[in-house]
Structure 1
């Protein structure tokens, strides 16, 4: 046998180059394609913009043609598909108005979106019918390979579908496993590129936000502030009122119902007029109705109107406020005070914009923007069944909470000067406030808010002996300010308006005319567990003890005895003020009650909240027994 192995000049055999198999060549081409795609994505500022180039690479290296990228789209009401999608990129030109099914069958897209796994249709026409094959590919058999494009942060969520076609005439037809792997790798590269772009965008936005904050901080340090957003007629530049004004400006241009919430005297009608004046309905009528000032029958007639002869005294047809406010704004003040029966009648016109006059049968339709106002806690009223939940959700679309005056201290002085100027103009005077008078006014709490401030300024100006009002001439300096006493009794919560306080002041029962016996402090009592057992029979009345001057103690109850079920007479005790109790007296009562605040409150004729406030005032640490 003759050896034909080639020999080199130095008599060493030369290695013959191996002939690569078709599979090796395909794997090498796939690797080269992935390399080129990765480079393209790495250098692209917008990964979605280079997807057509990626499809060209797949076509050139692997003959995967007619590439399509479909991504989820926002529903627009016209598209009735469960997962509406749009075609984001293709390897060929297409009509933008053409339906997505022209390049990607809906059935295949639904399968991938729902299953979140790759899908291969070896014969698209046989599996899904001739209409599923895109028009440009109907001349020959086609295999469709589709893989999901997932959200990198939520891998179970499918963002889109990456698909390509391979003709049955190609020599690699039927080797779809390799095609699935390649398209899956391409989809992963695209996912990472999109995630990186999103992170860059977030970092950029964070950097811009930090820069804005730094510039704002430097501007504030230099004393340069941006002019606040203002509305004619609304005085003040405090942050609280500026935020409300900004909300009014944003919501005024819409038809959305507005609910103004806040304590009494915060200027709800003024802000309602601001909503109207800043809206496109500014040239239309602004009609105001005080729902609390009218009975249910009169309120129905005022809002809906009545026909002639509808009831006794209805001598002529009368248009209601809804008709008068057509193409304008209707302000329903104190809407929380309407009866449950009328709430049902009001709900229909708010929902449909239709109503009938009292005594009439003709349905009238109006276009009215509703602005309502209340100082009640409507959520609590809904929970108690006093206010209809459906009406609440109808009027409380955009709630705007008006801040009380005590939360906008910087606005008190300009408001006081405005009211003083109005007083001088109205009365022909030239009264001025001294600087110490302004300082005194700015320190007040004003539970009645802006309305109380106006009354305070008018009272001081009217009672002033000269043209200059001094601080000692103000009612609060003379102990004649009842509002300050109201505020103190409520322990810091305004007594005006249920929205802020949630409570009302109830007058206490006055003590009898005959003076009670003088109070003598009892000796320090041991803790309840160390006290000897009571020798008095259960039904025997206990011995009465001296009562303090500020409370009426029933004769049938010992002051420091524990009664699990107090007698009805104990309810009629006169409530004490927190300021009338001493530290030692409070400690004695707590020790006698076993440091139970509710028991000590009954012994002293106070409320548990007053006891808690007194503990905080005297810095007494509550003992646990």
Structure 2
């Protein structure tokens, strides 16, 4: 009869072990998983009042993580190593079997759930050679079976240990990914935030104020201005300083694609919608759900496509190419154009209703020639950016900056950046001076500050703050652009001043 009873117990424990392994293999919340394990131990192996304590990595204390048949909260119950029955198992790393728990002097009964007349079996939860926690329960039935229960709980404890190891590994990886994500977000915000909008002129200060205010809301923004004025930088700053900054920021140049491809690119397509559509594809609007979409060169789209775009802007709805199901998206739209949309509306080439839908909050970017006072700050900012990309130290001196301020910059900030990058390439030791600017191919346009007013020059050629190029131009102004006379003012020969005019790339004015 005893052997038969033992076989029944072994079968029930084997079944329980199988069920425990199934529970632990599920992708559930870890605390819920451990609670379910204790429930199976109670139902199939008759191990009541199961408890799992896991060590807190920061304090080293044991925290009650899961408890079966417990009506009261237990989250605050903890044991120090060596404290009570649970702490003793943790410190020794060995199982503890008690025939009647009330007879154990170390029993603290903090949880208030154990039956004082029942046995108690506690085993360490091991991860390799390290004790990570304690598994304990009160078995029902004959005391003679306590050794079987101890061995069985050790097997369960080993399974739990493997799950704890995996759970900690996943948690560590998630924390690492979260830290990396937060670091990347900070980096992206730094690279695309307000710090990239450089300038202190009134027109730029107004743009800063507009961007700060409009970034808070979901208002559609139309960034206007010549090519190269930094319209995309404004779009970046709006998104990364908005409540949507954690969402996607999707960009598309509308001028780069014909209507058919533009529709597919923005709205996506269903499988089989056209030849080559072997899979379903989400468009840019779906990809931008919860974030911002930046539509550059919006003035280039045709009237046919303008009607399709208008519906998305008004209703947030569209159908994929080849599809019938309406897709609904939550997207903030920032558009940009260098065209005169008002003239195009009057000519009928741009829909008036789309114009008003886009032009809710216009931001006008000034050309660089209208804010030359910003060239100093811009040049130093761009040189720092180029230095980072080239992986070396770069500097620019005041003479080079003054030379840059004499140019009209038809290509705006983009032209300035290209000029500085060429100058950086030409300056082997990393110091960008006037000579490097001249070697970059820049052809400065004479600034009006050098012209004569009422026949009197405003420039003192002996001013020590003038660089060589400025001094030669000032002398030429005073001499009415007669090179021989200017040479005498400078103490040079006509051949010398001619050489200076050529090497300093001075455009000779005909008087």
Q: TM tier, shorter chain? A: 0.3 to 0.5
Structure with greater proportional helix content: 2
TM-score, normalisation: structure 2:
0.48
TM value normalised by structure 1 = 0.39
